[in-house]
Amino acid sequence: MEKLMIEQTDDSPFIILDKEQNRFEISGKSLPEDVIEFYLPVMNWLRNYKNDPSGKTEFHFKLIYFNTASSKLILDILMILEEIRETGNEVAVKWYSMPGDEDMREAGEEYSEMINLPFEYMTYEI
């Protein structure tokens, strides 16, 4: 399965989905003009990945900011990860926020209440 890599811009996050290297990450700001179009390749990749996932998937969210439209797509990503877990595969979410960024931490906590996945909360600095 080919990796998917999308370079970061001022309005869109860096994304890497690489089964071979077991690297799954979304980082930066997510406020693309057309959220559905931007995340379409991500959703398609994850749907394909769901058919033959790694035994362990650790997905890293290192978002500085995301808008309301992006929040729905993040939930969709988490739902696919939940489906992968339901088939007996190990899936974990690492949710990063900058020190003192309670809003981003709380966003992760809200997602964890909606999705049946283990979340681990981490801090990082740019």
What is the sign of the dihedral through the CA atoms of 88, 90, 96 and 101?
Answer: positive
Could you tell me the residue range of the domain that residue 65 belongs to?
Answer: 4-123
> Using CA atoms, how far apart are residues 46 and 28, in angstroms rounded to an integer?
20
pLDDT of residue 52: 96
pLDDT of residue 125: 85
pLDDT of residue 126: 75
pLDDT of residue 63: 97
Phi, psi of 93 (to 5 degrees): -115, 130
Question: Which residue ranges of the chain lie beneath pLDDT 70?
Answer: none
**What's the domain count of the chain?**
1
| pTM of structure | 0.96
What CATH number did the domain enclosing 68 receive? 3.30.750
Tens of pLDDT, residue by residue over 2-35, are 999 999 999 999 999 999 999 999 999 999 999 9
